[in-house]
A and B are shown apart, each in its own frame.
Chain A
Amino acid sequence: MRILRFVGRRLLQLIPVLLGVVVLTFLLVRVLPGDPIRSILGPNATEADADAARARFGLDQPIWKQFLDYLGGLVTGDFGTSIQSGASVTGEMALRLGPTLELVFIAVSIAIVLAIWLGIWSARRADTVGDHSVRIFALFGNSIPEFWLGLVLILVGYAALGWFPAPSGRVDPDTNLTPLTGADLIDALITGNGPAISSSAAHLVLPVLTLVIGVLAPLLRSVRASALEVLRSEAYAAAAAHGLPERTLLRGYLRRATLVRLPSLAALVFGTALGSTVLVEYVYSWQGFGQWALRGLLYRDYPVVQASVLIIAFAYVLVFLIADVVHAWLDPRVKI
């Protein structure tokens, strides 16, 4: 019950933030220079053509009317019509979210497992050569430009060794994969399309690896820091002084206490991954949410910009909320 009340209160707190995001995006995209209509019409269009197009997208209305229309649509889950493609933004977005979530989800999962393992390993050897190497590795991971790392992996994995497919999509079109969720590996598994399974898996390796390295570094540092804190705590010292076996200490005391921090770390890293995925998708021509949102921004496609900004903000704050709930559930000391 307390958890429900907590979630309710937090959701209420989100409303002003998200409303602020909605208003700010709506205004900024219109106030700042750039015209979505001119970019679809081409250079030879007359002023009358432009006016007609504006009327078609409702851009001739006063701004408060446009805003009310937009809000009215939002309530029913309708994000409007893309000016660039003329298609429904909700539909386009649904197609684009799958591929991106597939990438982010796989990469973040791998990074979390690796970070826990390496971080605890490193903390138990604090101030030894092994620990210092892990930390230097984490510093490298923190400092490496992901998009460049992606290119280096392409150079090695595709151009030099030829082990992985060219960075030009998510699956070989010859496999005739039926799109269901947009996440190609999952679609291939559901439809039992053998060639598509291996093709989409092969296409996933390099982009996932790129994201993992970028995401692993900050996670690793945090896991190491919180494991160190546990190791230096009195509770752990007491347990160790009682002569508990090594395995019990590691599993029952160290790993569990460190894991309690994980939800908030994962949430933070989710945000980093969302940012990185825009670059990684660009490098590998992934055609996901990031590339869609980027195109929308570049062409000032108002409905696309509004929808993608709102969805990212919503996903981000929601992930933090989930993290707090899971944290409270894992750690009995947390009062919510």
Chain B
Amino acid sequence: MASLEMLPVVSGTKDGRFAKALIYVGSGILIVAALAAIFAPLLSSWGPKEIDPSGTLAAPGGEHLLGSDGNGMDVWSRVLHAARIDLGIAVLAVALAVVVGTLLGLLAGYLGGWVDDVLMRIVDIFQAFPTFILALAVSALLGGGFFNLVITIAAVNAPAYARLVRAEVRTLREMQYIEAAKTSGASTLGIMWRHLLPNSLTPVRVIAPLNCGWAMLTLAGLSFLGLGVTVPTAEWGSMISLGTSDVVAGRWWTSVPPGLALLVCVLGFSLLGEGLQERADAKSRR
């Protein structure tokens, strides 16, 4: 019967400790990444677009800490500077998706009727595609560049938030405190803003960090395919893409470092999201 002891008895404290560790490590990684992005020029002796004509594909060590790429640009400097674009686009896009999606979900969920029908049919069409494929199609049609990418990634994610918030609002609106607010004469807008919005955001808070990680992967994937940010702007996905032929030739330093940086940042968001999720689950079990 020894194995019965291994059966999961809900152990709040131990659960909590793992969740806390996840949250701390995740936020730690993200803080370091943000600092690296902010202080990138101080941490590298080359500019992100500066070309060293005498040193294309220089091996790591020597003048270039992590070597240089096929254009003679410093890999270390570009990896650091790319954090600005990658983190910036991902966070902005998710913020935009949350705002737009939440508003639409709020409207659809609370008003119901034809507003709900129309909005949800549009959401259905968006969700008839795997998200990366949708991002691919939208960005291929819309074109690259900072703001187009923010819009693309936000547009692909907003429907999920709309659906999430709508479901939440539909349960919330049957609650007694909403009835109470109504009978005491609160306006529709007031109820939505003061009561429904804050309470429907609970699941959004858990999903948003995970979504930021996903947004970074999507952005890098698009750039890798040549649809997102293009050379010479420093961005991890396009750096990895630039190093593809080097990899086949056995040179690791042009593609591996930007991918590692991307992995670590996304992992930061994943750890944070997982920790928050774990904490939310533990709370709902209690």
- Chain A residues at the B interface, C-beta cutoff of 8 Å: 16-18, 20-21, 24, 28-29, 32-34, 123-128, 132, 135, 139-140, 142-149, 151-152, 154-155, 158-160, 166-167, 228, 231-232, 240, 246, 271-272, 274-276, 278-279, 282-283, 294, 297-298, 305, 309, 312-313, 316-317
Contacts and interface: CB of A to CB of B under 8 A. Distances in A.
Main secondary structure of the interface of A (DSSP, over half): helix
Interface stretch (B92-100, B101-109, B133-141): B133-141
B24 interface: no
Given A32-B142, A127-B11, A148-B262, A155 B130 contact: no
B283 interface: no
Given A232-B10, A282-B225, A152 B259 contact: yes
Interface of B: 3-4, 6-8, 10-11, 14-15, 18, 121, 124-125, 128-133, 136-137, 140-143, 213, 217, 220-221, 224-227, 237, 240, 243-244, 247-250, 252, 255-256, 259, 262-263, 266-267, 269-271, 274
Given A127-B8, A145-B259, A278 B133 contact: yes
B130 A312 contact: yes
Contacts of B131: 271, 275
Contacts of A275: 130-133, 136
A160 B250 contact: yes
Contacts of A18: 128
Contacts of A313: 128-129
B213 A151 contact: no
B137 A297 contact: yes
Contacts of B3: 124, 246
A123 B7 CA distance: 9
Contacts of A16: 121
A297 B132 contact: no
Given A272-B130, A275-B131, A317-B128, A240 B4 contact: yes
Contacts of A309: 129, 137
B163 to A, nearest CB: 14
A111 B124 CA distance: 28
Q: Does more than half of chain B's interface fall in helix, strand or loop, or is it mixed? A: helix
Given A29-B141, A140-B267, A151 B240 contact: yes
Contacts of A21: 125, 128
A282 B224 contact: yes
Interface centre among B8, B10, B14, B270 (most CB of A within 10 A): B8
Nearest to B140: A297
A23 to B, nearest CB: 9
Contacts of A246: 3
Given A17-B128, A139-B274, A278-B136, A132 B18 contact: yes
Contacts of A282: 224-225
Contact of B141 (A127, A147, A297): A297
B108 to A, nearest CB: 17
Among B243, B247, B259, B263, the most chain A Cβ lie within 10 Å of the Cβ of: B247
A139 B267 contact: yes
Contact of B270 (A139, A145, A147): A139
A246 B4 CA distance: 9
A150 to B, nearest CB: 9
Contacts of A20: 121, 124-125
A124 B3 CA distance: 9
A242 to B, nearest CB: 12
Contact of A148 (B18, B129, B225, B240): B240
Contact of B129 (A279, A297, A316): A316
A145 B252 contact: no
Contacts of A154: 247-248
A159 B8 contact: no
A289 B154 CA distance: 26
Contact of A151 (B121, B244, B274): B244
Given A151-B259, A278-B132, 5 more contacts: A17-B124, A125-B6, A143-B213, A159-B250, A240-B4
8 contacts: A34-B141, A127-B15, A127-B18, A143-B270, A151-B244, A240-B7, A275-B131, A297-B136
A155 B247 CA distance: 6
B128 A283 contact: no
B180 to A, nearest CB: 35
A149 B255 CA distance: 10
Contact of B7 (A124, A144, A149): A124
Which 5 pairs of residues, A with B, have the shortest CB-CB distance? A275-B132, A148-B259, A126-B8, A271-B130, A159-B250
Contacts of B14: 127
Contacts of A145: 217, 220-221, 224, 237, 240, 259, 262-263, 266
Nearest to A167: B248
B32 to A, nearest CB: 16
Contacts of A274: 130, 133
A151 B247 contact: yes
Nearest to B226: A298
B285 to A, nearest CB: 8
A231 B7 contact: yes
A230 B145 CA distance: 48
A17 B224 CA distance: 31
Contacts of A228: 8
Contacts of B4: 240
Given A158-B248, A232-B8, A147 B18 contact: no
Contacts of B15: 127
Contact of A278 (B6, B18, B220, B225): B225
